[in-house]
Amino acid sequence: MGIKCFLMTLGKTTVEPVMTPMMNYVPEEEGDWWGTCMARWVQLKRHALGFSDFSYYFMMLPLVFSYSSSSVSRNTEGLQGFWRMLSYGTTLLIRLVNVHVLIGVLSTYGAMEAMLKLIIKLCFRGDRLPDLLFLQVGVFPKYLMIVTIFFTILVSAVFFVTYEVLLKKRVEGHAQYSLCVHWLKNLIGLALGSPVYFVMLGYAIWRAALMVLTQRSFEYHVAPKPKQAEPTQSSLAGGHDPKMA
């Protein structure tokens, strides 16, 4: 919707955040671990279909140009507004590329690199020194990974400290774990689940790209999320509102 408004107003539309005291639940199937994983997969496939924004943006450009250059657009800025919108639209394309293209390419590249290394080790003779090849070409990715891990840990630590000070008591109530144990638990979970997550993320993005090429419409599925408990007769009689608990 933001891209539609941006194109229809020749780039004059802006998006402003509205800070509201609300919390968005993650996809979850109550009482079922595998169901929760599949709910996250359903949401991931739906988000990946945002790849179609590329085709919509480039499909609308000739129509917007035709309108801007016609006599109907006398009350608008005409071609000047179109070229301004086109220059501002570059930032939208960069965001779309960062969200959809780069993540999909990096995930696919990592999986293909691992497969290529395995094939080389199995098929090449030892005197061809495949380990030396891996060492020479892996210097930059290694340092890039070190920097990524460092800043990931730094950002997560800042987030947990901020969350602990500002939001935790209002959102969760009493903590079940200490801050360090909670942080370490999430770190281990990310280390174990990230490879699978990014491979499936790359697959979902490539799937969305192929669907954009081969289909004209998509079927969107909404992942299940936790439902709020229904008020009981005793809580209503006592004047207790479960929404305010």
What distances in angstroms separate CA 179 from CA 31, 100, 197, one per listed residue?
A: 25, 33, 25
Classify residue 107 by burial, with Cβ atoms within 10 Å: 0-12, 13-18, 19+.
buried
88 within 8 A of 11, measured Cβ to Cβ: yes
99 to 53, 71, 205, 220: CA distances (angstroms)? 11, 38, 10, 19
DSSP H/E element including 156: helix 139-166
Are 12 and 68 a contacting pair, CB within 8 Å? no
| Domain layout of the chain by residue ranges | 2-9+37-217
- The three-class DSSP label of residue 245 is coil
Q: What is the pLDDT along the chain (245 residues), one digit of tens a residue?
A: 778 888 888 777 877 877 776 666 677 777 777 888 888 888 888 888 888 888 888 888 888 888 877 766 555 677 787 888 888 888 888 888 887 787 777 777 777 878 888 888 888 877 777 777 777 777 777 888 888 888 888 887 888 778 777 777 766 666 666 767 877 887 788 888 888 888 888 888 888 888 888 887 777 777 766 666 565 555 545 554 444 44
